[in-house]
Amino acid sequence: MAKLPKFGIFVVAVLCSGLMSPSVVSGAKIMLAMTMVMNSVSQHILFSAITEPLVERGHEVILLAPQYKVTKGLTEEAVTGKIFFKNSKTKEEMEEMAAGLQSIALGFSQESVFQIIGRVRKIFPWFTEGCFQLFKDQETLDRLKEEHFDLILTMPTCGCDSLLAEYLGVPFVVMTPLRRAPFFNEDIFGIPAPSSYVPFSGMTTFTDQMTFSQRIANVIMRYVTEPFFMYLARRGLDQIQKDHNIRPDLSIDQLLGKAQLWLSQGNWAFEFTQPITPNFVSIGGITTQSPKPLPKEMNDFVEGSGDHGIIVFTLGSVVASLMNDELNEKLAKVFSELPQRVLWRLKGTRPRNLGNNTLVSDWLPQSDLLGHPKTKLMIYHGGANGINEIVSHGVPVLLMPLAGDQMGNAVRIQAKGMGFPIDKNTLTEESFREAVNEMLNNPKYTVNAKKAGAIMKDQIVPVREKVAYYIEHILKFGGDHLRTRALELNFIQRESIDVMAFLLLVFISFFLAVKWMVCKCCGLCRRKPAETRKSKSD
């Protein structure tokens, strides 16, 4: 057999190594689809944390968004280019809409069920308006086709981006804050989620140990309430689907279920455990950054706290104030009595009862303060990014949920023993004092928080590298080999109801057959002695 020359061997080796190398995917073109007219700052922070490592690895990440969209929180390093489609709203209207998130969040926490439903009905058009504008803008659609994207990244708010992915013929990956998004869940993705121990809505106080009545409510929310809200939020999308001939044979849920990967910003350090599939990837802690030095004035204030340490009070990136001066006065009075120093993010009127131990600022470097060794307690509303940062840094937390999934996050923190929630609508000076003192004086919260932080950090690779690996894995191989076949089955097949019905029918048939045979035998036996006696008498 002829031998290859040394140069030939070298060429073959290089080709083989290139084919087998994990870096074979480079320079992919990825769309970051943010087609909804409004997103929160915290969501943009999450998007940045996911796309920054992709840009670092040489991929293009192109932002797609409506014109004048407020993208505060999205870093310059997160994208390499931007495409804006036409928008019927003005720049001022878009900015006003983004600013209105604070009043919406605060309103949810103090309104009745009917008021909340009325408010939600006004918000629903925000979900789909961007989608209607995009699919009216044929010029942008044509440009997107010409770009030849390799992958789409999206947070599935209403299903618009799944329509876009199918229209362009491009695979897509979904990302959600914590467990699931309101319009993307385990049922859509084919992951088993037993209603007996998986609380389906993040807006409830249910844990993985539900009572009978809670399990009933859990099933109703899963199969009635949430599908109804999804229907309201998606109204009109079927017309887009029809007008552009986008797989009219599939529902929006079925199109969403074609996602190659689900990146969920949760971690088992504070989540309730549940079944998952290989294409479900936990990315909890991805927004957490190493603490940086504090500004000098703030650092002097923190260091001056001595052994007592500090308390950090902030309600996240959206809500800068409780907009309740009377309640703020009560909180300030309690803070003034503490030996700890307090850093309070607050815009608006400064409380009269403010003590010398309290520093009020309209901005706080939240992550840097959480990573500071003198931080003893965090008071927080329960937003997704902050919860991940709090858990990662191992800080106990007193929660003041306002809206959305914050109540569900608070319940999970309480179940893990890292803190507990308080209701701002019924909060009194005394109840707040008791809650703060319980958190500061009971060591179990700190112990549990430190344990959860150690669990979150105990990973094979840093979470940003993990995200980049999985996305590049999808770029190389697709995600079909990671998918469960549950979505290919209807509900009756998936839950084996037809099998159980068949087996029940077989059992009943067998039972009736045996009964018939026994009755026949017994009938013969009863008749035979009678016939014998009759023959003897004859």
Tell whether 203 is covered by a domain.
yes
Those residues of the chain that have pLDDT short of 50 are 1-24
Token pair in block for residue 189: 């993705």
Q: Does 207 lie in the same domain as 101?
A: yes
Nearest to 400 by CA among 387, 388, 389: 387
Tell whether 21 is covered by a domain.
no
Place of tokens 């319940």: 411
Q: Does 383 lie in the same domain as 512?
A: no
Q: Does 492 lie in the same domain as 480?
A: no
pLDDT tens profile 513-537: 988 888 888 876 666 555 555 555 5
CA torsion 109-113-114-116 (nearest 10°) is: 40
Nearest to 355 by CA among 374, 371, 372, 331: 331
pLDDT at 158: 82
Token pair in block for residue 7: 């140069």
How far the first Cα of the chain sits from its last, in Å, is 105
pLDDT at 335: 93
Q: Does 506 lie in the same domain as 385?
A: no
pLDDT at 103: 55
Query: What DSSP designation does 415 have?
Result: H
Q: Does 479 lie in the same domain as 331?
A: no
Q: Does 423 lie in the same domain as 375?
A: yes
pLDDT at 469: 94
Q: Does 408 lie in the same domain as 338?
A: yes
From residue 530, give the alpha-carbon distance in Å to each of 54, 100, 522, 525, 535.
92, 94, 13, 9, 9
Q: What is the CATH number of the domain that holds 282?
A: 3.40.50.2000
Q: Does 471 lie in the same domain as 377?
A: no
* Count of the separate structural domains present in the chain: 3
Whole-model pTM over 0.85: no
Q: Does 214 lie in the same domain as 124?
A: yes
pLDDT tens profile 289-336: 888 999 999 999 999 999 999 999 998 766 666 667 788 899 999 999
Q: Does 375 lie in the same domain as 282?
A: no
Q: Does 413 lie in the same domain as 507?
A: no
pLDDT at 532: 55
Tell whether 381 is covered by a domain.
yes
Tell whether 1 is covered by a domain.
no
219 lies in which domain range?
Answer: 29-287+463-485
Q: Does 340 lie in the same domain as 240?
A: no
pLDDT at 203: 73
pLDDT tens profile 224-238: 888 888 888 888 888
